[in-house]
Structure 1
């Protein structure tokens, strides 16, 4: 039995894409049919006269199979900003119903669909502030894996995010503590968060470069065991 799920974060740049990519490879190497899906990405990268979007490019570079562009993304906006603002700058609107329908189509084609959020939970998807990423997650009826930091400030950000998910009755599969240096402060931060909520968790060390994704071995089985029960 498989389970589709979200990888969401306490904030922007906490490592959602790295975690999504790692889990994609983990499941592919087990022989599962899996696709990542980033509904909305912002911030085009231009290097040596080439342009790309970093999130979906990372998926493509580490996937063991060819990923279909139409499967892995619905909206890409050039400006690095909140989705609602980036869309507004290009005269576009994000169709949340289209995203939900796309997720449902992917669920019929793959054993696992790993949906990746954008920024934190309360990132707006419309310019009126009536619809947030948290609303989309709730409507999708999929569980989440929450990615957070280990550094100063993470206790507050993580517990607020957990509370927001619990208030919406969104099942939480576990926690990922990213860029862990293992110092005394970080150890205590992780301990305090784990005292607050009893969930499977993994810690990802700070990586020198994204190519190190291939080298790390994480104990993700407890998280997938919980996913199967949600």
Structure 2
């Protein structure tokens, strides 16, 4: 039976894709068949093959070979705006059944699926359903990516509180962003560790996903997923 992990963030632009890619690479290193999944993406480029999103392409590259782009990212919008607003502008609602079907198709062929959301935890998909609702509906253990910068502590504690209340809290990973100086970043990490527990990993500013992949505790992550889903 496959295991699915959702990856959310404290905000947009905090490194969800880099962390999700590192997680996929770490899982691949165990010999497992893995797939990244970006159910909905906005901010995509027009190509001869259709719209292509940079984050989804990164997940595709980190996944096991053999996947098509549309399997990794079934719903794509061109404008770099919130997905539900892009959907409203284009008159093309986000079909939740398509997101469900895409996830199940990946689960049928892979031991691990890593699902990356768009923006933060409560980003809307429709006028009634948030990404949080969709993830909770599938009972997916969720990893929080914390972008280490001014405001991160408040955003992290609020998001962690919501994840714990939903019974989906898997842990957190820190990603030190370019605008934060090293001293302040370390102080923020210490504060978050005291409140949220030890992070599953910390990515240094500009570090490649491959480097973080070597440090992630995949065995511990698998055990945590089993405990949440059991």
Partners in 1 of 2:156 and 2:215 — Cα distance?
21
The alpha carbon displacement at 1:217 in A equals 4.9
What does residue 74 of structure 2 align with?
Answer: 74
Segments of structure 2 that go 5 or more residues without pairing to the other structure are: none
Q: Distance in 1 between matches of 2:166 and 2:60?
A: 33
- 1:54 corresponds in structure 2 to 54
Aligned to 2:87: 87
Give 1:88 deviation, angstroms: 1.3
Higher relative contact order (CA 8 A, sep 6+): 2
Note the residue ranges of structure 1 that are not aligned, 5 or more in a row.
Answer: none
Equivalent in the alignment of 2:189? 190
Q: In 2 relative to 1, CA 78–107 (structure 1 residues): closer, same or farther, beyond 3 Å?
A: same
CA distance, structure 2, for counterparts of residue 201 and residue 27 of structure 1: 14
User: Distance in 2 between the 1:213 and 1:187 partners?
Assistant: 20
What residue in structure 1 maps to residue 206 of structure 2?
207
Aligned Cα RMSD in Å?
2.3
SS of structure 1 residue aligned to 2:176: strand
Question: Is the Cα–Cα contact under 8 Å of residues 26 and 214 in structure 2 kept in the other structure?
Answer: no
Aligned residues: 222
Q: In the alignment, which residue of structure 1 is the partner of 2:102?
A: 102
- TM-score by length of structure 2 reads 0.87
Deviations 1:124-144 (A, max 9, x none): 111x3x211111110011101
| Inter-partner Cα distance in structure 2 for 1:167 and 1:89 | 33
| SS class of match (1:190) | helix
How much has 1:62 moved relative to structure 2? 4.1
